[in-house]
Chain A
Amino acid sequence: MAELVSHPDEIRVVAKRFGKGATNIDRYLGLDGYKAVQKALAMQPDAIVNEVKNSGLRGRGGAGFNTGLKWSFVPKTSAKPKYILCNGDESEPGTCKDRLIFEHDPHAVIEGVMIAGLAVGAQSGYIYIRGEYRYLLEIMQKAIADAYAKGFLGKNIFGSGRDFEIYWHGGAGAYEVGEESALMESLEGKRGIPRIRPPFPAVVGLWGGPTVINNAETLASVPHIILGGAEWFANLGTPKNGGTRLFCLSGHLNKPGVYELPMGYNLKKMLYDVGGGIPNGRKLKAVVPGGSSCPLLTADEIDLAMDFDTLMKAGSMLGSGGLVVVDDSTCMVKFALRIMKFYRHESCGWCIPCREGTDWLEKTLSRFHSGGGIKKDIDNIQYLSENMLGRTFCPLGDAAALPTISIVKKFRKEFEDHLEGKPCPFEKAGAVERLPVFA
């Protein structure tokens, strides 16, 4: 059970029911539960899509695509059944928010899946939860069973004459399976190797049927939009970036935790005010702004609004909302190495630039960090990474390259300090000193 935190600047929409016992379906009903889906049942499908489109809700899984727009790509009629697939694979390093949603408000996800289904004309949905989250899968299994027992799922939901089925599904450990097409492969009982696009999942997805894939937080936001209205939701954030977001603060902070803040909240304030600043009298060195796939920001680049467009302009990404804060005692070569080790481990091996690139980069960074690096390596690391960009089958290759390029560019001096037999200047900081200090 993960600890909850709070801050006065929080605006709780998705986290509204956290800590309120809403896993219990009767409690959930008492907290406006299943009202949104009943409202949606009385709406035209296009009206639901438009409401979500106008709310400015953008995918919380990483890419930040407008959710309503994504739904509008699903063909009106289809010979094959349509599906909603909730992505609860949450494996991007730095990200731990879907976990809280499943733990505290599983029915909101169910309701979101149902509303998405009504909007695109799907009659079934799947909720895929990563294998490590077994306790959450169990919470979800019970939530689904309770919804069936009340008649909210199954035949003739809420007396509307319409049917809707929701099924749970568990993974077995794989980051790459979070990629939408690999997710479908995994759900179909295969290795998580991405599919070629086009056709896009909205047209040809699960078992060949049109499929909407959305992140758990995205779907959990939908019922609030239906009840509160597009305008209300849009106004919580910045233009084209509606609503709030669960920001996962981790790393060198006094008050790490998951906080729900409006889109566009100032990053500096998020770190120093909400996150309580950097412990042990240290200074900020870098921030991973949205999960390990995003280019890092340096300490003097953090006075900006946390929304998709601002981060893009700043040369990074808002990603999955996982902020990892790095203080000045940290070796950036080591940090880059750990990120690369992850991507090498998770590469599905399907395409050469990613499979070979991550392996070579890990080896080079590892040698470099241990003092065996040569000057040419620095440019080679950058060159190799840049040549992975856009040349891989799925975005995992980019995800490995982007943070690496940013670290080489922004912390080149640290690489130079490691050259040829020099011991890592940061290792002396020692294990004990780097252990956490809790405020």
Chain B
Amino acid sequence: MRFSDQFEARFTEMLTHYPTKRSVLVPTLLYAQDDAGFLSDEVIAEIASRLDLTELDVRNVISYYSMLTCKPRGKFNVQVCTNIACLLRGGEELLEHCEKKLGVGHKGTTADGLFSLEEVECIGACSWAPAVQVNYDFHENLTPEKMDGVLDEYRKRARQ
């Protein structure tokens, strides 16, 4: 199991932050997922052994956090907020639009592996609703037309 150098540097730094090894677990899992795409059995086993935890301990924590996933996802994870502030400004319609455009539903992945779609809870962009996060990037004050532009941008990025 090999992670990127950046992951290793961060992991080594994080271990110095806390009095217990286990405390690095939550951010480490997310960084590992960013590196590997998802938390595979292999990744879980590696992290468990590095932190002297059982794989079950690690899986228990993974299942709690909504950003962590044990299944592969598309290159770009399109996360549409439909919580109250977004709901009032067209969040649900935006989600429906994405479903149609991408041809997948909640937690689905397009056949080309480019996009996954997810309905998410408030992402802290309420004053700029409706809002979407693609991986970690925020896109705000969206309309279906603007959303098409956003998706096109990512398609272009994938071709480069």
List residues of A whose CB falls within 8 A of some B CB. 1-3, 81, 90-96, 98-99, 126, 130-135, 167, 169-175, 186-192, 207, 248-252, 256-258, 288, 292, 322, 324-327, 330, 334-335, 338-339, 342, 345-346, 348, 431-432, 434-436, 438
Whether the pair A434, B93 counts as a contact (CB closer than 8 A) is yes
Enumerate chain B residues within 8 angstroms of A174, measured Cβ to Cβ. Answer: 64-66
Among B51, B88, B92, B125, residue most surrounded by chain A Cβ atoms (within 10 Å)? B88
| A contact residues around B22 at 8 Å (CB) | 188-190
* Contact across chains for B126 and A96 when beta carbons are under 8 A apart: yes
Shortest Cβ distance from A343 into chain B, in angstroms? 10
Residues of B within 8 A of A335 (CB): 84, 87
Residue B68 lies at the interface, judged by CB distance under 8 Å to chain A:
yes
Number of interface residues of B (CB under 8 A): 49
Given A132-B136, A188-B23, A2-B143 contact (CB < 8 Å): no
CA–CA, A113 to B124, complex, Å?
A: 22
A-B contact pairs, 7 of them (CB 8 A): A133-B124, A172-B66, A172-B67, A189-B23, A189-B24, A326-B88, A438-B141
Interface string of B148-159 (1 = CB under 8 A from A): 000000000000
Cα–Cα distance between A191 and B26 once the two chains are bound (Å): 9
B88 touches A90 (CB 8 A): no
- A189 and B143 in contact, given A172-B65, A173-B68, A436-B130 (Cβ under 8 angstroms): no
For residue B88, give the distance in angstroms from its CB to the closest CB of chain A: 4
Which residues from chain B contact A99 at a C-beta distance below 8 Å? 124-125
Question: Are B122 and A173 within 8 A (Cβ)?
Answer: no
B96:A256 contact, CB within 8 angstroms: no
Q: How far is the CB of B35 from chain A (nearest CB, A)?
A: 14
Write out the residue numbers on chain A whose beta carbons fall within 8 Å of the beta carbon of B24. Answer: 189
Q: Which chain A positions have C-beta within 8 A of B27? A: 131, 169-172
Task: Provide the residues of chain B in CB contact with A190, threshold 8 Å.
Answer: 22, 25, 61
Q: Would you call B60 an interface residue if the criterion is a C-beta within 8 Å of the partner chain's C-beta atoms?
A: yes
- Interface presence of B45 (CB below 8 A): no
**Residue B46 interfacial (CB < 8 Å):** no
Contact A186 B128 (CB under 8 A): no
Chain B residues whose CB sits within 8 angstroms of the CB of A207 once the complex forms = 18-20
B126 touches A250 (CB 8 A): yes
B107 shortest CB reach to chain A, Å: 13
Closest residue of chain B to A288, judged by CB?
A: B84
> What is the CA–CA distance of A435 and B123 in the complex, to the nearest angstrom?
19
* Residue numbers in B under 8 Å from A432 (CB-CB): 93
In the complex the two chains form, is B89's CB within 8 Å of A436's CB?
yes
Residues on the B chain within 8 Å of A339, using CB: 84
Q: How far is the CA of A113 from the CA of B39 in the complex (A)?
A: 34
Nearest 5 CB-CB pairings of A with B:
A173-B67, A189-B25, A173-B66, A189-B22, A172-B65
Please determine whether A93 and B133 come into contact, CB atoms closer than 8 angstroms. no
Contact B125 A93 (CB under 8 A): no
